[in-house]
Structure 1
């Protein structure tokens, strides 16, 4: 039987520590009944030590379970990470890791020889891609994937990947927030996508971590680390302790479709079926999104929107830039009817639009 402590046992140890501390305090006469016995601090320290050892053991068990399923992906001159998705040799990673490459060098955590892989399909709209090993080695270990709805703020997580080319690296943190909507830069190696329902984590995420695994203490992948926040006041450098991972529900949705159909057939992402650009007002501040083109038969076209209209609101949410429009749509679902406020030839108008799908 596996003797590795479970998360439940670690939590029980923590509870016993709190209870033990209370008993020691009472024995020491916190109501003025005497002095604490000299052995009390030693007993308390022993409980703390056992709890710390149990948590450390659990970290090591998780790393031993999951790290063999995390690989380094070489795409030309760039390096990223990936997760073994199934025993057929499929590996899921970020679209910005594969870029425009079709073939890749894959190496595992255990230092075995470099394997060749080929692109199955890339889906930049969600910054996900699937590649497949040309020859599937024996003993390939797929990762275990968790459930997005079970991810909670405060959970301890480990990020595994190849930051800065340092393969098999592990960092530790917590889930800082869930449900974040963030936009990637398009000029710094990202896809320019707007991503919804992201998991925010304090675990360090650096270049090369992209496509790797964000893992809970049950050895389950709960997300794919994708980008770190940047601090404009620090010259655009990384903001320590603020990273984002694509939630496991989206990872599985996209990967399963790519593996089955060779492409994403049902994105679940809402669209207006337009292209647009940010416009500014007389003070040179962003003031809306001008429609540059409208897809024939698309959502905007059916609602009567046309080239030159400037979108300023979706329902009650103000739209000032193409990024803010993308963020609003990322939180919507195809088929939902929204009210679009726009200006045409200086006149304010509204239209009810049934959203399409990316």
Structure 2
């Protein structure tokens, strides 16, 4: 197992709302009540922006919702996004699990359609399935540019939360470039995912694999998981959800559709197998190298089995999860410094990261 795969977080429900308020403050010049014209003007200045925003929401929903489908596996329910006019649908790997055949309900089909797995890539929690029959009117989604996603953008999350098909929630982009880990329990992949889009739009069970959409009607991410709060005993942390950016979705989906597998993962690797090591107080202090891939990045840098990695670049490494998160935030081909302990002595090595 590569060190970049480690469990930490499990997707659960989160709920958020964005409340838009307008406050009108007017002064008095002279005396008396406002005229009918003044009242109409005031009402227009207050309500028109809200009407415009409401119209934008409705237009986006009308344009994009037909591209979002419901996916029913034998035990799980999730969402997917129509990727092309040939019946390919992109979703999360944890939605498809180990299954090969699915029932898909599209906006243009009255009855569920059969779809089959093309390929699942758990390391990035993405998968592609394909409809056996392409219904008339199937509408592929438009995917946006992840580099243009900005904090504060209004977004809509579309999917089938709790089995409620064609549901829409709204929020904003709360952050970009997040690195998060998904739990392996209850069907999760255990993947550590980098460059994620954080959103306040509600992501509930069944939303996974759906669409996170901007007001231009472009899919900017695939909603994948919501955060849990350890202080709530693992309960939902409201308003904190994460989506795989559109650029990674396209990178993975294009390869799967073209070749039936993923050969260019875009994920950095050291070429080692590792485990968490603890001190005398049972506190994690690093990632111990168990095996080094011959000819891999670590091997070329002189890192050996038994070394304990404590830092990757500027990121502290205390366990497998932190090492996986540091790698997920990096890119293949990047040159960085690995700090490690060997027989009680600290060493540093310059490593050119490989690809997982």
In structure 1, the residue corresponding to 2:47 is in which secondary structure? helix
Q: Counterpart in 1 of 2:342?
A: 344
Q: Counterpart in 2 of 1:8?
A: none
1:297-308 correspondence runs (5 A): 297-308=295-306
Contact 2:128 2:253 in 1 (8 A): yes
Cα distance in 1 between the residues matched to 2:32 and 2:98: 68
Q: Counterpart in 2 of 1:122?
A: 120
Offset at 1:110? 5.1
Contact 2:154 2:172 in 1 (8 A): yes
Q: Which residue among 45, 48, 60 is the counterpart of 1:47? A: 45
Cα distance in 2 between the residues matched to 1:336 and 1:160: 36
Offset at 1:345? 2.1
1:114-153 correspondence runs (5 A): 114-153=112-151
Contact 2:108 2:137 in 1 (8 A): no
Deviation string, structure 1 residues 124-144 (Cα, Å, up to 9, x no partner): 111111111111112111011
Contact 2:108 2:135 in 1 (8 A): no
Deviation string, structure 1 residues 73-116 (Cα, Å, up to 9, x no partner): 11211011000000010000011111111111111235621111
Contact 1:95 1:191 in 2 (8 A): yes
Q: Which residue among 31, 34, 46 is the counterpart of 1:38? A: 34
Cα distance in 1 between the residues matched to 2:348 and 2:175: 35
In structure 2, the residue corresponding to 1:145 is in which secondary structure? coil
Q: Counterpart in 2 of 1:65?
A: 63
In structure 2, the residue corresponding to 1:254 is in which secondary structure? helix
Bigger Rg, which one: 1
Cα distance in 2 between the residues matched to 1:140 and 1:276: 46
More helix by share: 1
Cα distance in 2 between the residues matched to 1:334 and 1:147: 21
Q: Counterpart in 1 of 2:111?
A: 113
Q: Which residue among 274, 277, 280 is the counterpart of 1:279? A: 277
| Structure 2 alignment gaps of length 5 or more | 1-19
Offset at 1:42? 4.7
Deviation string, structure 1 residues 144-194 (Cα, Å, up to 9, x no partner): 111112211111111000111111111111111111111111124321111
Offset at 1:315? 2.2
Q: Counterpart in 1 of 2:95?
A: 97
TM-score (norm 2): 0.89
Q: Which deviates the most, 34-43 or 312-321?
A: 34-43
Instruction: Give the CA RMSD over aligned residues.
Output: 1.9
Cα distance in 2 between the residues matched to 1:236 and 1:159: 23
TM-score (norm 1): 0.89
Offset at 1:60? 1.4
Q: Does 1:81 align with 2:83?
A: no
Q: Counterpart in 2 of 1:295?
A: 293
1:117-196 correspondence runs (5 A): 117-196=115-194
Contact 1:194 1:326 in 2 (8 A): yes
Cα distance in 1 between the residues matched to 2:142 and 2:348: 47
In structure 2, the residue corresponding to 1:242 is in which secondary structure? strand
Offset at 1:41? 5.0
The size of the alignment, in residue pairs, is 334
Contact 1:224 1:245 in 2 (8 A): yes
Relative contact order, higher structure (CA 8 A, sep 6+): 2
Contact 1:109 1:167 in 2 (8 A): no
1:192-203 correspondence runs (5 A): 192-203=190-201
Q: Counterpart in 2 of 1:9?
A: none
Q: Which residue among 345, 353, 357 is the counterpart of 2:351? A: 353
Offset at 1:245? 0.5
Offset at 1:36? 7.8
Q: Which residue among 317, 320, 329 is the counterpart of 1:319? A: 317
